[in-house]
Structure 1
Amino acid sequence: MAKEETRVNRAIRAKEIRVVDDEGGMLGIMSVRDALIAAEERGLDLVEVSPNAEPPVCRIMDYGKFKYEASKRAADAKKKTARVEIKEVKMRPKTEEHDFQVKLRNVRRFLENGDKVKVTVMFRGREVTHPEFGAALMERVSTEIGELGLVEMTPRMAGRFMTMVLAPKKK
């Protein structure tokens, strides 16, 4: 569904509208033609701000400035939203100590940067008959990261993969 466009000047379809002037004062209910004349006298536009009201509310303002400020507000709101990425670290049940430490360092770095971490243990062949090795590895990861993060989703088996999600602790 397309975003409904704001109606301006001659695009306003209502017979009568409630008009607010550029200083915020109420001019009252009048015809669109009279409101357009009032807007043109001030060198401004007539903008429909509340199309669902009865009668629709229109404001006399500079439409270009209005659009610019609206886009600035939208950009500021977008900047303020925190983007949390989910990073993934993959291991095997028989991961050697050095490799485990390297992966753990990556988990720590991701959590310090404020990202969530999905730890995945991949089972191959007959390894899947011993999920306790994967569970022990997950338990070790969660204890080693300690104060940096907390377990958001406990370890779960899904086919040949065991996954766990860690979230950074709020400061």
Structure 2
Amino acid sequence: MASNSNSKELEINERIRDKEVRLIGADGQQMGVMSPRDALRLAQERDLDLVKVAPQAKPPVCKILDYGKYRFEMQKKEKEARKNQKVVELKEIRLSLNIDTNDFNTKVNQALKFLQQGHKVKVSIRFRGREMAHTNLGIDVEKRFAEALEGKAVIDKQPKLEGRSMMMFLSPSPNK
């Protein structure tokens, strides 16, 4: 079982060592301030657990509940929250120095599709052989690519040569 940080932090039953705690019953009703021993006894009478839900409060707040069920509910909520997070992927578009106009436009349209889906795009050019002598042409191709996507993408990282590859990073324009 994967232990989440939330269940690790919660103190239950005999682990609660405060002088006094504010108790909330299983039905959500305030039961007042008392010693943890008395609160634990009340919880055990109902076959439930005493769980410290707000340790930073003065006095700490404890609640009578079924800890196993509570942990299950918390894990379910965390799983739901993770499911609703948008994962931004990095998509790569590879260009070449002597790319044809139609190929170029196809790559621009592909990048546009990725950007509309909310993904970041890495535009790369691989220099082969004597092409290394003409890295300035690679910068021109990548700049032209960025201009073709103007208004729809912003440049995160300007074209930069790393080894035999030149890379530029684009992300979706915020004013869509």
Task: Tell me whether the two structures share a fold, i.e. TM-score over 0.5.
Answer: yes
2: CA distance between counterparts of 1:100 and 1:55? 67
1:27 aligned onto 2:32: yes
Q: Which residue of 2 aligns with 1:80?
A: 84
Kindly state the Cα deviation for residue 54 of structure 1 after the two structures are TM-superposed: 7.6
Instruction: Give the gaps of 5 or more residues in structure 1.
Output: none
Instruction: Give the gaps of 5 or more residues in structure 2.
Output: none
Do 1:17 and 1:58's aligned partners in 2 also have CA atoms closer than 8 Å?
no
Per-residue Cα deviation, 1:22-55 (whole angstroms, up to 9, x for no partner): 22525323142x2221112334321123457787
1: CA distance between counterparts of 2:30 and 2:86? 39
SS in 2 for 1:119: strand
Per-residue Cα deviation, 1:49-84 (whole angstroms, up to 9, x for no partner): 345778754322232342233123212322332211
TM-score (norm 2): 0.80
Count of aligned positions: 168
Identical-residue share of aligned pairs (%): 35
Q: Which stretch of the first structure deviates more once superposed, 62-71 or 82-91?
A: 62-71
SS in 1 for 2:149: helix
Q: Which residue of 2 aligns with 1:18?
A: 21
Q: Please tell me the root mean square deviation across aligned C-alpha atoms, in Å.
A: 2.5
Do 2:23 and 2:34's aligned partners in 1 also have CA atoms closer than 8 Å?
no
